[in-house]
Structure 1
Amino acid sequence: MKDLLDGYPVITQIPVAWGEMDALNHVNNVVYFRYFETARLEYFSHIGMMEELARTQVGPVLSETSCRYKLPITYPDTLHVGSRVVEMQDDRIIMEYAIYSEKLGAISTIGTAKGVMFDFKKNRKAGVSESVKQHIIALQPELAEDLNAVQ
């Protein structure tokens, strides 16, 4: 597993619940977006995003998401969802996810999400704060050059 999720600094473990299965005996397609959400929030926890949102009322809103299903997941299983930032622009963060299935011993699903920073007090887009950028660089030093180019 470690090799397959290499490059993902945050890995979230999620047990598959019986209720996530659909009539075709595999995890329903919409559930994967919940898995991505759980992983995204754990990544945000690592970079202090939620604390900053509480303090400044500026945080990301999901503007786009995608999912590529490679292998069906079934109950019981334990998933490991890798998350990372792959691109940052002045006002948005693009993340990537990979779901590793313990039962299958393989990556079952990959996904992306674009979060646009939003100022909830002023009701308009906002920029990615310097603090968030620096926390991302601390977690993913390989992004330092790309993030500095955005500034």
Structure 2
Amino acid sequence: MRLLLMRQLPSSVSISLQHRIPRHARSYSTPSGSDEPATASLNPRWLADLRARIGKCISFGLKAEQTKEAGSILQEIALDWRGLVAGSEGFLTEKNRRGLYRQEVVWGEMDSMGHVNNVVYNRYAESARVNWALNFANVLDPTHKREWSELVTPTGIGMILRSIKTDYKFPMKYPDRVTVLHKLRKRPEPNIDHFILDVLILSELHRRPAARCVEDIVVYDYKAAQKAPLEPFMVEKLQETFELQEQAKHYFGNKVLDLIGRVRKLEKGSWDRIDAKEDLGSIVDL
């Protein structure tokens, strides 16, 4: 799955979006020249591996300043792991952008194999897609609440799922919680009557994607019984959303690379040196 190349935003668009991006995100530098997220070449378990690498550094002993740095890195990972994992791919993780957030996996969603049944993942994606649209109605563009709300009903201009493709990354089990996020694959153009949404289903227990979906959405006029273009104000809001996705991808991508660099620096000052000795503790004679 490839993402679009980050483009230089027109000044007018940048100004209009500034209030939607956290201040620290706007001040963070972004890389250029690549349309791949920073985590594309990393092991899917990269976040867990990063914590394990810090643990190894601690086992070889750290100086006071290094211990403080290790604690700072672990705290950043714990507080914003969704941003690091999903934001670095362009998914928006803020409260008013989430489809599902920390929803409990219930025992009855497992099948006879003791895993969450495959069809449940698609239900997660469906429920999150409805909430994704309602976020525009209730928070992001309440001026057009009725029109956004109708997208998830068969009463006017609505969304129809033409197809869904699901890739299962590992089998989830009860107990766990899921966060489900949607993002636009391409920047919407005027008069569009269909679009693609990428879906990320995150396991909170494992802090990595349990499944990925691709949803092909058709805009349909139920009264006229035919496809219809999105309203211009909807296209504008979706375009703004896409630009925010691109900014998030590069901000969190840089943050991931920075954390990896900081952990590597700790390694060079602990176990990865000539005189390194693992601290196995002391044995007391009884």
| TM above 0.5 | yes
| CA positional deviation for 1:118 | 0.5
Q: Deviations over 1:74-121 (max 9, x none)?
A: 001011112111134621021011111111121111101011011111
User: Which residue, out of 73, 81, 84, partners 2:172?
Assistant: 73
Mapping 1:2-151, distance limit 5 Å: 2-6=83-87, 7-9=90-92, 10-11=97-98, 12-13=100-101, 14-48=103-137, 51-52=146-147, 54=150, 57-87=156-186, 88=188, 90-142=192-244
The structure where helix makes up a greater share of residues is: 2
CA RMSD of aligned residues (A): 2.2
TM-score normalised by structure 1 residue count: 0.85
Contact 1:96/1:110 (<8 A) preserved: yes
| CA positional deviation for 1:135 | 1.8
Contact 2:91/2:245 (<8 A) preserved: no
Q: Which has the larger radius of gyration?
A: 2
Q: Find the aligned partners of 1:41 and 1:96 in 2 and give their Cα distance.
A: 14
Residues 68 and 50 of structure 1, relative CA distance in 2, 3 Å threshold: farther
Q: Which runs of 5+ in 1 are unaligned?
A: 145-151
TM-score normalised by structure 2 residue count: 0.47
Percent same amino acid at aligned positions?
28
Residues 82 and 54 of structure 1, relative CA distance in 2, 3 Å threshold: closer
| Amino acid aligned to 1:127 | P
| CA positional deviation for 1:51 | 2.6
Q: Find the aligned partners of 1:140 and 1:26 in 2 and give their Cα distance.
A: 34
1:149 aligns with none
Q: Find the aligned partners of 1:50 and 1:30 in 2 and give their Cα distance.
A: 31
SS at match of 1:73: coil
Q: Find the aligned partners of 1:41 and 1:15 in 2 and give their Cα distance.
A: 18
| CA positional deviation for 1:21 | 0.4
Residues 24 and 78 of structure 1, relative CA distance in 2, 3 Å threshold: same
Aligned positions, number: 144
| Amino acid aligned to 1:124 | Q
Deviates more, 1:129-138 or 1:61-70: 129-138
Q: Deviations over 1:17-56 (max 9, x none)?
A: 1111000001000000110011111110122387315398
| CA positional deviation for 1:143 | 7.3
The structure where strand makes up a greater share of residues is: 1
Q: Which runs of 5+ in 2 are unaligned?
A: 1-80, 138-143, 247-286
SS at match of 1:27: coil
Residues 78 and 143 of structure 1, relative CA distance in 2, 3 Å threshold: closer
